[in-house]
Amino acid sequence: MKSNPITQEIWNNGNLHVTRREAIRRTLLGTAGLMLADRVVPFAKAAPRTPTAKSVIQIWMWGGPCHLDTFDPKPEAGNDYCGPLAKTLETNVKGIRIGEMLPELAKQADKYTILRGMTHGINGHETAAYEVQTGRKPGDGQVYPAVGAVVSLFKGYEAGYKGLLPPYIVLTELQGRFSEAGFLGSRAKPFATGGDPAKNPFVVEGVVAKGITEKRQKDRRELLQNLDTMGQIMKDDPRLKDNEKCEQAAYDLILGDAGKVFDLSQEKETVRNQYGLNTFGQSCLLARRLVERGVPYVTINYKGWDTHKAHFQTMRKNLPVLDKGFASLLQDLSDRGLLASTIVWWGGEFGRTPKIQWEAPWNGGRNHYGKAFCHVVAGGGFKGGQVVGATTANGEEVKDRPIYPPDLIGSFYQLLGIDPNAKLPHPQGQDVRVMSANNADGKERRGGLLTEIM
């Protein structure tokens, strides 16, 4: 259905002429955020270098995978550290070896860099997830927005993004307790697809409804309009106009072309198979499709890595899925020329105890470990085929080049051209910047931006 054209309109405040696209942009943000935004421009000026990245795909390893089992293997550390995963694989970059369960990723090592010096020392899921994704220590009275919220603010509608797809999309579920938007509030909340991209149809919550034909959608919409007696009487009410614009934006996804991005059956069978016919694999494929359409930030919220018990059984099950999906994503982005402008960020809130807990009730599990872990970054201006930082012989300490969350996040912002000193729109008008000043209160440790690979 062609959407009803909303012609140029006058908003009740300040006779501002607003086009339809502008109106959609605003409604997606919510009008509250807009007023704030208008006060806080200009954004993202004075970037220190030419931005190379346009989008970010964050593979969020919820629960925290173990560095020893993945990208920082320690075959010499012995059975108490490696358990049954004691072998390593040579990658396509000489000298870099990764865990035995990641053969596909071993063929892609030239595209990514392994950050083996990750550390923050926090062992609680929430606090660690907060710090890794905001670059801030909790406790100063602010709830900071996560990277995705900041990027969607500086690369989204307020910075000229024109897409009909929301600028910040989470596949498939929100992170729950960890509020992605922080004090930015609803303007920066991600759109969570819900559903399962490995199922047919992929029921994207709100966009695709199972069992409702397109004809019935259109008929219903007409019925809704015909029955909207209040709207007909109060045509000039600004609140109802806001409502109408939001509804229009929603229908652009339900009935318009924009929503077709979620239809993975448009992809070739071979491509779908390559990524893996499972939730994670198809999420990676969808992330590629979203980035292709210009969505600035996509999070794949990949659960199931909090393996206190049955650790190695879970690794045998999960790592091949990870390997296939992640490796295909890198290859595909690269083949399509998208990798150069897309940061791919892989990692969780912490690592897991290098020393295996053989005792009951863990029976060969690994606990939370914030002291040393690893992340992987690729694309968007990051060099591939590198390793930054190193851990000690059994992976328990960072011995070389520590990388703290703000180092990582600050590097993303630099590649994206987001000024770390730009003001964030704060609901109480407080002066809060994208990044905290270095070591402002002596609490925050930094290892420096990832200049080695930028």
Partner 1 sequence: MQTSNKTVWVLGFVLWTLIAAAAEKPVVPPAETDPNKNPYDSGIKPTPVCEIDRMVFARLEKLGIQPANICSDAVFVRRAFLDVIGTLPTAKEAKEFIKDTNPKKREELIDELLKREEFIDYWTMKWCDILRVKAEFPINLWPNAVQAYHRWIRTAIRDNMPYDKFVRELLTANGSNFRVGPVNFYRAVQSKEPNGLAQAVALTFMGERAEKWPQERLDGMAGFFSQLSYKSTREWKEEIVFFDSTRTNKDGVVATKAVFPDCKEFKFSPDRDPRLVFADWLVSSDNKWFARNIVNRMWSWLLGRGIIHEPDDIRSDNLPVNPELLAYLEKELVASKWDLKHIFRLILKSRTYQLSSVSGPRNQEAEANFARYPLRRLEAEILIDALNQITGTTEKYTSAIPEPFTFIPEDQRSVELPDGSITSSFLEQFGRPSRDTGLESERNNKVTADQRLHMLNSSHIQRKLEQGPKMVYLLKKASSPREVVGGLYLMILSRLPTEQEARAVVNYTESSGVKGRDVAIDLAWALINSPEFLYRH
Query: Per DSSP, what are the bridge partners of residue 57?
Result: 298, 344
Cβ at position 447, least distance to partner 1 in Å = 26
Please name the helix (run of DSSP H) or strand (run of DSSP E) that holds residue 352, with its range, or none. strand 351-352
Between 50 and 213, CB nearer to partner 1: 213
Distance CA 201, CA 122 (A): 40
Query: Per DSSP, what are the bridge partners of residue 88?
Result: 99
- Assign 243 to helix, strand or coil: helix
Between 118 and 208, CB nearer to partner 1: 208
Please say whether the beta carbons of 360 and 319 come within 8 A. Answer: no
Between 95 and 361, CB nearer to partner 1: 361
Between 89 and 174, CB nearer to partner 1: 174
The string of DSSP codes covering 110-159 is: TTEEEEEEE-----SHHHHHHHHHHS--S-SS--PPPHHHHHHHHHSGGG
Between 121 and 176, CB nearer to partner 1: 176
Cβ at position 85, least distance to partner 1 in Å = 28
Between 250 and 435, CB nearer to partner 1: 250
Distance of CA 229 to the CA centre of its chain: 42
Query: Per DSSP, what are the bridge partners of residue 118?
Result: 373, 403
The string of DSSP codes covering 164-201 is: SS-SEEEES---TTS-SSGGGGGGGPPEE--S-TTSSS
Between 208 and 356, CB nearer to partner 1: 208
Cβ at position 174, least distance to partner 1 in Å = 6
The overall longest dimension of the chain from CA atoms, in Å, is 77
Cβ at position 200, least distance to partner 1 in Å = 15
Cβ at position 97, least distance to partner 1 in Å = 36
Between 234 and 271, CB nearer to partner 1: 234
Distance CA 330, CA 437 (A): 34
Cβ at position 412, least distance to partner 1 in Å = 24
Distance CA 332, CA 141 (A): 42
Cβ at position 88, least distance to partner 1 in Å = 35
Cβ at position 218, least distance to partner 1 in Å = 9
Distance CA 30, CA 205 (A): 19
Between 45 and 216, CB nearer to partner 1: 216
User: In sequence order, which residues have a C-beta less than 8 Å from that of residue 394 and are 6 or more positions away?
Assistant: 74, 77, 78, 81, 354, 355
User: In sequence order, which residues have a C-beta less than 8 Å from that of residue 355 and are 6 or more positions away?
Assistant: 80, 81, 394, 396
Strands 342-347, 55-61: pairing is: parallel
- Assign 329 to helix, strand or coil: helix
Residues binding partner 1 (CB under 8 A): 12, 24, 27-32, 125-127, 130, 138-139, 141, 143, 166, 173-174, 176-177, 179, 183, 185-186, 189, 191-192, 194, 203, 205-210, 212, 215-217, 219-220, 222-224, 226-231, 233-234, 236-240, 242-243, 246-247, 249-251, 253-254, 427-428
Dihedral of the CA atoms 438, 440, 446, 450 (nearest 10)?
-20
Cβ at position 359, least distance to partner 1 in Å = 20
Q: Where are the alpha helices (DSSP H) in 278-429?
A: 279-292, 311-335, 405-416
Between 14 and 160, CB nearer to partner 1: 14
Cβ at position 166, least distance to partner 1 in Å = 7
Query: Per DSSP, what are the bridge partners of residue 403?
Result: 118
Please say whether the beta carbons of 252 and 24 come within 8 A. Answer: yes
At 437, which amino acid appears?
A: A
Cβ at position 413, least distance to partner 1 in Å = 24
Cβ at position 431, least distance to partner 1 in Å = 12
Between 76 and 222, CB nearer to partner 1: 222
- Tokens (6 digits) for 317: 């099950």
Between 343 and 432, CB nearer to partner 1: 432
